[in-house]
Amino acid sequence: MNISIKGAYGDSNFGDDLLMIVFEDFIHANIKNRSLNFIGSENNYVSKFLNDSSYNNGQKDDLLVYGGGTQFFSFIEKSTLRTKLKNNISNNPVKILKKVFQKISPNNEAVIKSEKAFLGFGLGPFNNNIQAIEFAKNQLKDSLFTGVRDQVSFGYCNDWNIKSFLGADVVFSSYFHKYVQNVPQTIGSNKIGIIVRDWDWKNSPADYQDQLINFVSSNPHLDVTFIVFAKDKDPKWMKRIQNYKSIVWNPEAMEINDFIKILNSFSTFITARYHGAIIAGLLGKKVICVEIEPKLRILTEQIPSFALWDDSFNIDKLNDLIELDLENNHQKYIEDLRSKADNMLNQFVKIYNSKFNGE
């Protein structure tokens, strides 16, 4: 069996690098007699994190899995009101759909397409973009298995009459737990880590980058460090933090365990990165999510002990959240999400075995 897992891998993004290693561990533990390949951006560092898988090898797949992330959405750019659609959808959706679903051979006979599945992914927002919605529906309707990471995505599938399984992000799963279960708890630290992300889409009235810089400048007594998860995707932040304390995930030179230990040295995280919040929660830290996009708010609904700095980006509100003695014990919520993620993955294995192994 040839299986490929497609995602935003190879983009020097710590969150997507985590997804990749979790999916590899999961597939290796549960599916035998397979050739596993990952599909993402070309980048030499990827191979150091893969143990027994290929990368962008061009194999003909029996099964293509879309692994985690927000697979389909539509945002509006602040400056031009240009719509950005995930998966590089052009203005010609028919052309794209043909490319994705069906290639035509020289004798005009349709080539048999591989089965596809979706695991631990998110949907939306769509900003009333009918083209993006129809594309997502067409992608999902023929899938072998659709496992979503949150209630909002599950709701989209229900509205579209697409059968789906409500799971959770796979970084919550038992396959990632080994990376954090033995990390010692830090005591007495007052360090604040601000995990940032470039964001150029029109979903809020304020520029959260300016507000965060103003927050740091107006609180010189705080021990603050800026943290970049994706140096190639966040050039604006990389430029803005040159005169501030900062830490940057560098997959070419760092190991995942080492970066987790660095993150563990902080007591509080203000994070505009979804997986930054998840890692902080798994490490038992105080978490303040920055609502640059809806999935950060959704995460605070899944884990109510996470605080939300909403998209008004009011500095006084952030100061209040920093001073607030938030509950740091996220364990009961995380255990529930781990169970949901594990159940989703187990259900996928059952469907896979039924389809390909006759079990």
pLDDT in tens, 204-256: 545 899 999 999 999 999 999 999 999 999 999 999 999 999 999 999 999 99
- Is 183-328 the same fold as 2-177+337-356? yes
Cα 52 from Cα 37, distance rounded (Å): 9
3-state secondary structure of 17: helix
The tens digit of pLDDT for each residue in 2-61 reads: 999 999 999 999 999 999 999 999 999 999 999 999 999 999 999 999 999 999 999 999
Entry pTM: 0.90
List, in order, residues 6 or more apart from 77 with CB less than 8 Å away: 83, 84, 200, 201, 202
The DSSP secondary-structure symbol of 171 reads G
Predicted local confidence at residue 303, as pLDDT: 97
For the domain spanning 183-328, the CATH number is: 3.40.50.2000
- Tokens representing 87 are 């998966």
**80-89, 155-164, 296-305, 307-316: least confidently modelled range:** 80-89
* Among 181, 318, 195, residue whose Cα is nearest residue 266: 195
* Among 242, 247, 287, 245, residue whose Cα is nearest residue 263: 247
3-state secondary structure of 229: coil
Helix crossing, 294-302 with 151-159: angle to 10°?
Answer: 110
Predicted local confidence at residue 100, as pLDDT: 39
Predicted local confidence at residue 326, as pLDDT: 72
Read off the pLDDT of each residue in 326-340 and give the average, rounded to a whole number: 90
Residue with tokens 């930054």: 276
E strand spans, the chain = 2-6, 35-39, 54-55, 63-67, 70-72, 74-76, 83-85, 115-123, 145-148, 165-166, 192-196, 224-228, 246-248, 268-271, 286-290, 307-309
Cα 295 from Cα 169, distance rounded (Å): 11
The tens digit of pLDDT for each residue in 312-321 reads: 999 999 999 9
Cα 23 from Cα 5, distance rounded (Å): 8
Cα 89 from Cα 13, distance rounded (Å): 22
| Domain boundaries defined on the chain | 2-177+337-356, 183-328
Helix crossing, 315-323 with 208-217: angle to 10°?
Answer: 60
Tally of CB atoms within 10 A around 217: 9
Contact predicate 325/344, CB 8 Å: no
Predicted local confidence at residue 86, as pLDDT: 54
Predicted local confidence at residue 112, as pLDDT: 53
* Among 248, 253, 317, 250, residue whose Cα is nearest residue 289: 317
**187-191, 256-260, 328-332: least confidently modelled range:** 187-191
Question: What is the topology classification, in CATH, of domain 2-177+337-356?
Answer: Rossmann fold (3.40.50)
Predicted local confidence at residue 76, as pLDDT: 67
- Tokens representing 348 are 């996928």
Query: Kind and range of the H or E element at 174?
Result: helix 174-180
Q: What is the CA radius of gyration of the chain?
A: 21
Give the Å distances, CA to CA, from 38 to 4, 58, 66, 293, 326: 5, 10, 10, 27, 39
Mean pLDDT of the chain: 89
Going by pLDDT thresholds of 50, 70 and 90, the confidence category of residue 103 is very low
Contact predicate 5/250, CB 8 Å: no
Residue with tokens 């979804």: 274
Read off the pLDDT of each residue in 342-357 and give the average, rounded to a whole number: 97
Going by pLDDT thresholds of 50, 70 and 90, the confidence category of residue 356 is very high
Cα 77 from Cα 84, distance rounded (Å): 7
The pLDDT > 90 percentage for the chain reads 79
Cα 143 from Cα 159, distance rounded (Å): 16
Predicted local confidence at residue 188, as pLDDT: 67
List, in order, residues 6 or more apart from 304 with CB less than 8 Å away: 333
